[in-house]
Each structure stands twice: as C-alpha cells, then as structure tokens.
Amino acid sequence: MAQVTIGNSEFDRDTAVVRRAPGHYEADLSAGWTIIHAVNGGYLLALMGRALGDALPHPDPFSVTAHYLTASVPGPAVIRTEVVRTGRTMSTGTATLVQFEEDGSEVERLRVLAAYGDLDTLTDDVRTTAKPPAIPPYEHCLGTENAPGGQPAVPGSTAIADRLTIRLDPATCGWAVGAPSGNGEMRGWFGLADGRDPDPLSLLLTVDALPPTAFEIGLTGWVPTVELTTHIRRRPAPGPLRVAITTRNLAGGFLEEDAEVWDSADRLVAQSRQLARAPRSASTLA
C-alpha cells in the first residue's frame, strides 16, 4: 500500500479539484465527510482553498472567509474562482461553489473571499503571547470508541468520524454523558485517520471539525455556521494538532466560536472565528 503523505491521502483525494478552464473547477463532494447528512463546513472550505490555491499566483491561504448559503449534498459540484488582485507578496480572490438541481439549475452553496500568500516567506520572528491550551495527554483524552454504548446513536451518522482521529479533553466531554459543564469550550487532539500530516489546507478542515461548544453549554441540535473566517499563520509541523474552541457571546439566537490550532512545535498555526445560529432547542441534556 502506498505511503500516506501530504498529496496522497483520503483528504487529498476527497478535496481534489479538476480545472476545466481558467477559473472553472469540477469537484465531487464526498459522502465521507458528513455528520448525518450534512457535509462538514471545514471540508468544503478546504475544497475551495484548493481551487483558490490553483487560481491565484500565491500558494497558501492566509485569510479565508466563507459564507455558507445553502446545505451542500454529496455529489458533483462546480467551483468558480475570480482573481480580485495580485500583488508581490499577496493575492486576493473569490470563489463560489454551486451544485445542480434535477432541472439543471444552479444553487450556490458557499461564497468565499480570501487572501493568499506564501507561508515559506514569513519571517522567523515569533512574539506570540498566547499559550497552547492545557489539554491532557493524548492517552487521557476520549474518542468515539469511548462513547457510552460504543456505537453512535444513529448508525452511519458519523462518516466524518472515520476520517478523523479526535480525542477530546474529558473536561469538555460532559455533554456526551448527559452532564455538560455549562462552559462554552471544546478542546482536543486532532489528526487525520490515515495518518496524513497537517498542511495549510487541512487546517481549513481542522477549525470546523470538533463538536460544537453549544453541546457543552447544554444545548442540543444543529449549530449552523453563517460565516467562518480562518487565518493560517504558519505551515504546521508534522504530527498531531491541538484544537481549543471557545464561545463567550451566546446571545440573541447567535453565538461565536473562536478556534485556535496549535502544532507539535507549540506554534499557533491557525485562528478562526465563526458566527453560527444557536440551536433552536434550548433544552438541556441533563
């Protein structure tokens, strides 16, 4: 079996795009990156990121904003990109992802606006004052196999769970045993199940891959993302990532989720914030 590497992995195959013409790409949204029937937002972001990396003269996402308009479904999709501006060290572009109704009409799923650059040209100065999250060692964190009962509640509901290796901080797992802490926090270790190392595109997936902080606040139901903006600040070192997500402003039917991704070299490699609709049900799990 071929060695899994960046470029040769489940993630790369499922986020591949084929350029048919300048600014026109075909993709196939994989059913492997869904939660129940919903295609994961980070997976979609990574797909768009791959197309934009091809369309723009700079290779790496620096700041990517996505607005999620309608629910994507597994199957064919088209991504169209536009070059907004190219500069010496950065370029800006937009992208739209559409799918097709039975009558052939288009429905737009996402709209993206992004700035790209070259992460290999960043200077070496590091004055980061943020600290890596205090997450217990990997062996002491909990994965889906530790879930009560062993099997997911809805068979086949966790296709994306088979693609990822996530181990959650027990302090943010109360929701899974009917005892949410009430704190808007979610933390854990993150890796791709086939062992592929992280890279700037997989970081776009990573920021939207953990369970919602809303679960730990004590809310159930979907937490649909309206908008997600991700900053990629450094090419991640090989090895597992630590993700820490915080919600501090659940109000008015909306909430924000701030995610930080730290690599094995203790560098803050990605930061994101999303605006999401709070679950309609405010029922508690307890």
Binding site for its own copies (CB under 8 A): 62-63, 65, 67, 69-70, 84-85, 90, 92, 94, 108, 111-113, 115, 122-130, 183-184, 217, 226-227, 229, 231, 233-234, 247-254, 256, 267-268, 271, 273, 275, 282
Closest to its own copies by CB, 18 vs 130, is: 130
Give 193-235 as a DSSP string: TT-PPP-HHHHHHHTT-SPPHHHHHT--S---EEEEEEEE-SP
For the bound state, the minimum distance from the C-beta of residue 286 to its own copies, rounded and expressed in Å, comes to 16
Closest to its own copies by CB, 210 vs 217, is: 217
For the bound state, the minimum distance from the C-beta of residue 93 to its own copies, rounded and expressed in Å, comes to 9
For the bound state, the minimum distance from the C-beta of residue 149 to its own copies, rounded and expressed in Å, comes to 30
Tokens found for residue 19: 């350029």
Tokens found for residue 274: 């999303």
Distance between CA atoms of 179 and 182, rounded to whole angstroms?
A: 9
Distance between CA atoms of 46 and 14, rounded to whole angstroms?
A: 10
Which residues 6+ apart lie within 8 Å of 63 measured at CB? 114, 115, 229, 230, 231, 232
- At 134, the amino acid letter reads A
Using alpha carbons, select from 254, 255, 137, 150 the residue that is nearest to residue 187: 137
For the bound state, the minimum distance from the C-beta of residue 84 to its own copies, rounded and expressed in Å, comes to 5
Closest to its own copies by CB, 113 vs 193, is: 113
Closest to its own copies by CB, 122 vs 147, is: 122
Closest to its own copies by CB, 14 vs 216, is: 216
